[in-house]
Amino acid sequence: MAQTDPTKSSNADLIELGRSLIANGPHRMEPTSRRVRGQSDTHWLFDTTSAYHVWEHPYYPQFYILLAEIKDSWFIREEAVSHDDGVYVASLRPEGQGADGEGRILRRALVFRQGLLKGLVRFDFKELDAWYEEDQPIYGHPKDPYKRIDILPSSRKITVKFGDVVVAESTLNMFLFETMLRTRYYMPKTAVSPFHFSFLSPASFFFATYDIESKAVVEANLIQIKWQYTTPSSTTSLCPYKGTAEYYNLSVDGTEIKDAIWWYRSPTHESAPIAGMACFYNEKVDVFVDGVKEKN
């Protein structure tokens, strides 16, 4: 196929990335023994235990696959990226999908022929229908093996305000600590009074003091989210550590804050304790921990 002018390409971001990786190399790369699989339509494009974690930037890695591990597929060369032909953009058509255009063609693969990444292929993560580490689906991008999350129950009082209006208070929380990121505070979505307990999340905890003689609860956790200030949002997002998030908008005194609250209906196994719990964006509202205001 004749090479096209890279400046006119719709793959300008890939061309820039390829040139940078050939010239400067990745921030970091290392092999992984994890079984990595990629699916497009009904085809497994690869099934390998010889993938690489490649950090194109400092924040998280991508999976790069050995060209020799791409099964039942063939590449169509689209355009050169580097002047020395060390990397090129390719399309990929799974075996059995004819050249007459039938079937799906992947058009955003980088194939490296030189340098540290020689013999590796970088697929656009979103272009594949599914990625798996072992048998676990990958959401958004691969996990960084050097980062982790901890989810701990906490009775410290969380108060959420927008302006002078208190929109949520809770002493029955899950604190989510993620490496190098700010703490997130998850609280049950239900309102709880001292004499009535109902909660959505099976992973929630509550603690109360019950007076046997008076048959009354004399101390209980405070949980109150004022849902009259919220409306459902159509936004969703993906996190490799937590799964698919859904959102609520917040509207106070005529001011709407888009996607100010998120929650996970069915989080990943490691994040199961926050199932059904709500978290406010620290950056969009004022969050107080035991009366001390967090930085926005």
User: Helix, strand or coil for residue 194?
Assistant: coil
User: Rounded to an integer, what is the distance from CA 91 to the centroid of its chain?
Assistant: 26
Cα–Cα distance, 186 to 196 (Å, whole number): 21
Kind and range of the H or E run holding 22: helix 12-24
Q: What is the pLDDT of residue 58?
A: 93
Residue 158 to residues 148, 154, 184, 249, Cα–Cα distance (Å): 24, 10, 11, 19
Euclidean distance between CA atoms 250 and 252, whole angstroms: 7
Tell me the pLDDT tens digit for each residue of 15-56: 899 989 998 999 999 999 999 999 988 888 899 999 999 999
Statement: residue 238 has pLDDT above 80: yes
3-class state of residue 12 by DSSP: helix
Q: What pLDDT sits at residue 187?
A: 93
Q: What average pLDDT does the structure give for the chain?
A: 82
Helix (H) or strand (E) holding 192: none
Q: What is the mean pLDDT of residues 59-83?
A: 79
Q: Per-residue pLDDT averaged across 251-256, rounded?
A: 91
pLDDT band at 203 (very low <50, low <70, confident <90, very high): very low
